[in-house]
Amino acid sequence: MDKTNTPLSAGYHDVAPEMLATIVTCLEMTARPDPRPNPPADGLSVERWIAPTLDEYRSLYRRVGEDWLWVSRAVMEDDRLRAIIEDPAVEIYTMMRDGERLGLLELDFRESGQCELAFFGLDQSLIGAGAGRILMNVAIDKAWEKPISRFWVHTCHLDHPAALAFYQRSGFRPYKRMVEIFEDPRQTGKLRADAAAHFPVLRAE
């Protein structure tokens, strides 16, 4: 993500009640980092997900992302979403246990020489149990198997509070910060009204 925007001036800036504002941090690695050991797998595995249906993909996307206000793929037009997830330069992996999909990893190689860690998320039942390290190790291995010079990701303060530090421990280096303002999807019905309870909804009086 290399968008050029006019920096905000110092001070407070009002955000409309129906909107959300979040601080986005962009991170990158330009060389493969030293490997970090996997914790015990506890029945978990990571598998390439070939040709998921739109319903299957959106179901997992919501499962791992709705409480962090992931919305883009949940509401994206079918044709546009299908074009992305069926693109041979986009690789999708899932974390599995007992035949159930509990994690989503999406690597986007559509820009030559680069890989974007487009989506990385786990079911709430796996957070804090070491599953994230297993999934990230797969992400790093698969990204650097290709002839890339840059692997990058962006996160925001609406994500899990440990996400930014986790990316840094994994070898990503912060290089840019932005403020994003967007419509609160809980107020439009695009996500369930009680999603992301840690981040309150503000409603116009």
Residue 8's pLDDT is 85
Question: Given a cut of 60, is residue 2 above it in pLDDT?
Answer: no
Q: Are 71 and 25 in contact (CB under 8 A)?
A: no
Mean per-residue pLDDT over the chain, rounded: 93
Q: Are 105 and 93 in contact (CB under 8 A)?
A: yes
Tell me the average pLDDT across 153-169. Answer: 94
Lowest model confidence (mean pLDDT) among 6-20, 73-87, 110-124, 167-181:
6-20
User: Which structure tokens are listed for 3?
Assistant: 């968008």
Residue 3's pLDDT is 59
Residue 1's pLDDT is 57
Residue 55's pLDDT is 96
Separation of alpha carbons 153 and 25, rounded Å = 9
Q: What percent of the chain has pLDDT over 70?
A: 97
Distances (CA, A) of 68 to 51, 52, 129, 138, 198: 25, 22, 18, 22, 9
Distances (CA, A) of 156 to 32, 75, 186: 24, 20, 18
**Shortest CA distance to 185 belongs to which of 77, 80, 66?**
66
Tell me the average pLDDT across 73-92. Answer: 96
Tell me the average pLDDT across 119-141. Answer: 95
Comparing 142 with 40, the larger pLDDT belongs to: 142
Tell me the average pLDDT across 12-35. Answer: 93
Residue 162's pLDDT is 92
